């Protein structure tokens, strides 16, 4: 009774005794565990991990073509399959963490898997016997493509990296966020700052990878570059392990698919029953009448459609795909001189959004959030939904800027035989950098705060799928536009390899229009999402433990 009274007092003070554990599996102590101190170690790991994987991913096609001697089309498929696998495996990593291992052990195990992949890749790049004979494909030599054991070593290495990175990524963000108690108003404010800091760390890692590490690969060899990525990944592990004594670890909840399946099974077997006239008996469910009959509260399935919010960010990532492909081609067709003797690599334009994020995120969190918080009363300054919407709105102007600048560049080249400076296309990267600060961070915060308890790592992993779907949609659009516009004005808009003959500006205008329509669609769904029914409004407005306990209790009583 005395221990029970003590636990009750701790819960009244907002301190949980059983929802989080220390590294020995004992209940965590709020005075020793959690907060920004352990989260900082996770942020360090995130910066180092993205630094290592981005350095490999951004230059992998060069290694595959020049060292493994794959064809251009096969090399492109190798890279896209590698990147796509990382994002798909993020779902597996989130599921494994929430269901069986917990974030800490999932990160630790798969970080070592990722490190082993980097080491194997660097060994293969260094040992001549593990690669085809060197040759100069540009001089017309017939190069021998890597096959058999050599190809096997390569693919084992990159897919070890993909498996490790895919499973680590969502859990790093979720584990860092787990260091803050959402039921404590003070810590809830810090949670919002953590999400901003996480994207800051991501941007720093990307910037270093796109500049220093890629330069190192180019000038010192791919074996050295891959070896540096392995060393950086080892630093990520050291950073993560350094915080072990201070982490508050959320234990796994068992299979996260079980409660979702139970909802639909319960609804199916009760499909012929009449819904009760008293809405309180439905625990706040009004919009999905079929699931009312399960008689439980599962907000992200029953009351609102969080997946529609997710779907609205796919077009946003389709725009990101253009900045990493066609916009780089734009830069290649322009004057890249910064000084008489120094040229800007067109691919380095991709670093502009991350420079903007590194500058803007601290200003946003330090000045804008406290100012907005006084006006809105929201712990994040503005809600994640408003933040996502603002980013989607700005993304439209990134494509408007791209279309205007491409028309100007094309006219200068075709009509006046002039080559514009590469700096003319920097606005589209600058605008998208600001857009990403709002949408990308807002989406992660939105999904992490969904009321499905024990599924935070899996829900965070879902945000990575938006990248995959966005790039896939980009490929579909390019093929579709070429097919539709073939036969008009000497071929499709993107049919030629020469931008002066293509109509990339029209494609950009199409994307700007799609982005605007996507924003209007988002406004509809976000308003629908954020308009709770009368019986559930208290859940959205209050940040107490009652709803959480009620949710857990109802889960345990599903027939």
Task: Decide: helix, strand or coil at residue 308.
Answer: helix
Question: Tokens standing for 102?
Answer: 């917990």
Taking the mean position of all CA atoms in its chain, how far away is CA 300?
Answer: 20
Higher pLDDT, 489 or 436: 436
- DSSP letter for 349, please: G
Higher pLDDT, 65 or 388: 388
Question: Tokens standing for 60?
Answer: 């992998």
What's the pLDDT score for residue 491? Answer: 67
> CA nearest 387: which of 446, 327, 337?
446
What's the pLDDT score for residue 299? Answer: 44
State the average pLDDT over residues 314-340.
81
State the average pLDDT over residues 443-455.
77
What's the pLDDT score for residue 489? Answer: 52
Task: Decide: helix, strand or coil at residue 323.
Answer: helix
204-230 residue pLDDT tens: 999 998 888 878 887 788 889 899 999
118-141 residue pLDDT tens: 999 999 999 888 888 887 765 566
137-177 residue pLDDT tens: 655 667 788 888 988 999 999 999 999 999 999 999 989 98
Higher pLDDT, 235 or 137: 235
Length, in residues, of the chain? 559
Higher pLDDT, 286 or 243: 243
Does 558 score more than 50 pLDDT? Answer: no
Does 233 score more than 90 pLDDT? Answer: yes
Higher pLDDT, 282 or 261: 261
Task: Decide: helix, strand or coil at residue 203.
Answer: helix
This prediction has a pTM of 0.73
What's the pLDDT score for residue 4? Answer: 42
State the average pLDDT over residues 456-482.
81
Does 193 score more than 90 pLDDT? Answer: no
Does 301 score more than 60 pLDDT? Answer: no
Assess contact for 535 and 528: CB atoms under 8 A.
Answer: no
**Angstrom distance (rounded) from CA 120 to CA 129:** 14
Higher pLDDT, 473 or 73: 473
Question: Tokens standing for 307?
Answer: 């997946």
Within 10 Å of residue 39's Cβ, how many Cβ atoms?
25
Burial class (CB in 10 A: 0-12, 13-18, 19+), 129: exposed
Helix (H) or strand (E) holding 438: helix 426-448
Say which residues have a Cβ less than 8 Å from residue 7's Cβ, sequence separation at least 6: 17
What's the pLDDT score for residue 302? Answer: 38
* CA-CA-CA-CA dihedral for 336, 340, 341, 347, to nearest 10: -10
**Angstrom distance (rounded) from CA 555 to CA 549:** 10
pLDDT class of 292 with cuts at 50, 70, 90? very low
Which of 55-59, 148-152, 230-234, 416-420 has maximum average pLDDT? 230-234
Assess contact for 137 and 69: CB atoms under 8 A.
Answer: yes
Q: Do domains 28-254 and 299-531 have the same CATH topology?
A: yes
Lowest mean pLDDT among 443-447, 450-454, 458-462, 532-536: 532-536
340-360 residue pLDDT tens: 777 777 767 778 888 888 888
174: left (phi over 0), alpha (psi -120 to 50) or beta: alpha
Lowest mean pLDDT among 236-250, 384-398, 434-448: 434-448
What's the pLDDT score for residue 260? Answer: 55
Question: Tokens standing for 196?
Answer: 């901003």
Task: Decide: helix, strand or coil at residue 182.
Answer: coil
Average pLDDT, the chain: 78
28-254 topology per CATH: Growth Hormone; Chain: A; (1.20.1250)
What's the pLDDT score for residue 497? Answer: 63
**Residue 255 Cα distances to 25, 97, 177, angstroms:** 20, 10, 21
Question: Tokens standing for 158?
Answer: 């990159």
Does 306 score more than 80 pLDDT? Answer: no
**Angstrom distance (rounded) from CA 400 to CA 402:** 5
Within 10 Å of residue 541's Cβ, how many Cβ atoms?
8
pLDDT class of 265 with cuts at 50, 70, 90? low
Within 10 Å of residue 195's Cβ, how many Cβ atoms?
27
**Residue 270 Cα distances to 264, 297, 453, 533, angstroms:** 10, 16, 25, 23
CATH class label, 299-531: mainly alpha
What's the pLDDT score for residue 336? Answer: 79
161: left (phi over 0), alpha (psi -120 to 50) or beta: alpha
User: What are the extents of the domains in the chain?
Assistant: 28-254, 299-531
**Angstrom distance (rounded) from CA 157 to CA 167:** 16
**Angstrom distance (rounded) from CA 56 to CA 103:** 25
Query: What percent of the chain is predicted at pLDDT more than 70?
Result: 78
**Angstrom distance (rounded) from CA 203 to CA 352:** 10
> CA nearest 309: which of 382, 389, 399?
389
State the average pLDDT over residues 408-435.
88
What's the pLDDT score for residue 423? Answer: 85
Question: Tokens standing for 74?
Answer: 């096969």
Higher pLDDT, 492 or 358: 358
Residue-wise burial string across 239-256, b where 16 or more C-beta atoms lie within 10 A, e elsewhere: bbeebeebbbbbebbeeb
**Angstrom distance (rounded) from CA 45 to CA 239:** 6
In degrees and rounded to multiples of 5, residue 385 shows phi and psi of -65, -45
Does 273 score more than 80 pLDDT? Answer: no
Question: Tokens standing for 510?
Answer: 């199409």
The DSSP annotation for 266-281 comes to HHHHTTTSPPPSSGGG
What's the pLDDT score for residue 108? Answer: 95
What's the pLDDT score for residue 168? Answer: 94
């Amino acid at each position: 009774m005395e221990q029970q009274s003590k636990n009750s007092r701790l819960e009244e003070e907002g301190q949980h005794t059983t929802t989080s554990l220390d590294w020995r599996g004992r209940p965590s102590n709020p005075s020793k565990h959690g907060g920004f101190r352990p989260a900082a170690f996770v942020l360090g790991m995130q910066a180092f991990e993205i630094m290592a994987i981005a350095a490999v991913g951004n230059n992998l096609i060069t290694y595959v073509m020049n060292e493994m001697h794959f064809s251009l089309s096969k090399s492109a498929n190798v890279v896209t399959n590698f990147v796509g696998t990382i994002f798909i495996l993020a779902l597996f990593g989130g599921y494994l963490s929430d269901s069986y291992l917990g974030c800490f052990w999932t990160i630790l195990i798969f970080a070592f898997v990722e490190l082993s992949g980097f080491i194997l890749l660097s060994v293969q790049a260094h040992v001549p016997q593990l690669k085809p004979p060197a040759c100069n494909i540009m001089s017309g030599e017939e190069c021998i493509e890597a096959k058999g054991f050599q190809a096997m070593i390569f693919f084992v290495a990159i897919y070890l990296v993909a498996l490790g990175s895919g499973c680590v990524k969502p859990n790093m963000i979720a584990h860092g966020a787990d260091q803050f108690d959402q039921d404590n108003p003070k810590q809830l404010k810090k949670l919002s700052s953590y999400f901003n800091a996480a994207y800051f760390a991501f941007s720093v890692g990307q910037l270093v990878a796109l500049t220093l590490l890629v330069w190192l690969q180019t000038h010192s060899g791919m074996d050295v570059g891959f070896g540096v990525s392995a060393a950086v990944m080892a630093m990520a592990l050291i950073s993560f392990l350094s915080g072990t004594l201070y982490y508050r670890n959320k234990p796994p909840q068992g299979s996260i698919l079980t409660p979702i399946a139970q909802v639909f099974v319960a609804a199916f077997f009760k499909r012929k029953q009449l819904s009760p006239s008293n809405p309180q008996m439905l625990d706040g469910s009004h919009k999905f009448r079929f699931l009312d009959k399960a008689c439980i509260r599962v907000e992200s399935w029953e009351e609102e459609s969080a997946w529609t919010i997710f779907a609205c960010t796919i077009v946003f990532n389709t725009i990101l795909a253009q900045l990493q492909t066609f916009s780089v081609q734009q830069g290649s067709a322009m004057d890249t001189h910064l000084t008489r003797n120094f040229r800007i690599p067109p691919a380095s334009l991709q670093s502009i959004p991350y420079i903007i994020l590194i500058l803007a995120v601290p200003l946003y969190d330090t000045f804008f959030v406290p100012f907005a918080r006084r006006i809105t009363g929201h712990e994040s300054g503005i809600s994640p939904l408003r933040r996502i919407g603002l980013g989607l709105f700005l993304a439209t102007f990134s494509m408007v800027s791209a279309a205007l600048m491409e028309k100007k560049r094309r006219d200068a080249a075709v009509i006046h035989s002039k080559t514009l400076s590469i700096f003319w296309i920097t606005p589209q990267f600058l605008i998208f950098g600001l857009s990403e600060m709002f949408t990308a961070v807002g989406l992660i915060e939105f999904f992490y705060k969904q009321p499905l308890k024990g599924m935070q790592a899996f829900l965070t992993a879902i945000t990575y799928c938006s990248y995959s779907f966005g790039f896939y949609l980009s490929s579909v659009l390019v093929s579709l536009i070429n097919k539709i516009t073939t036969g008009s004005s000497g071929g499709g808009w993107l049919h030629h390899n020469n931008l002066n003959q293509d109509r990339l500006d029209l494609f950009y205008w199409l994307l700007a229009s799609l982005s605007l329509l996507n924003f209007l669609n988002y406004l509809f769904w976000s308003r629908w999402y954020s308009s709770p029914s009368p019986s559930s409004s208290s859940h959205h407005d209050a940040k107490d433990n009652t709803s959480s306990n009620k949710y857990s209790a109802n889960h345990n009583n599903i027939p």
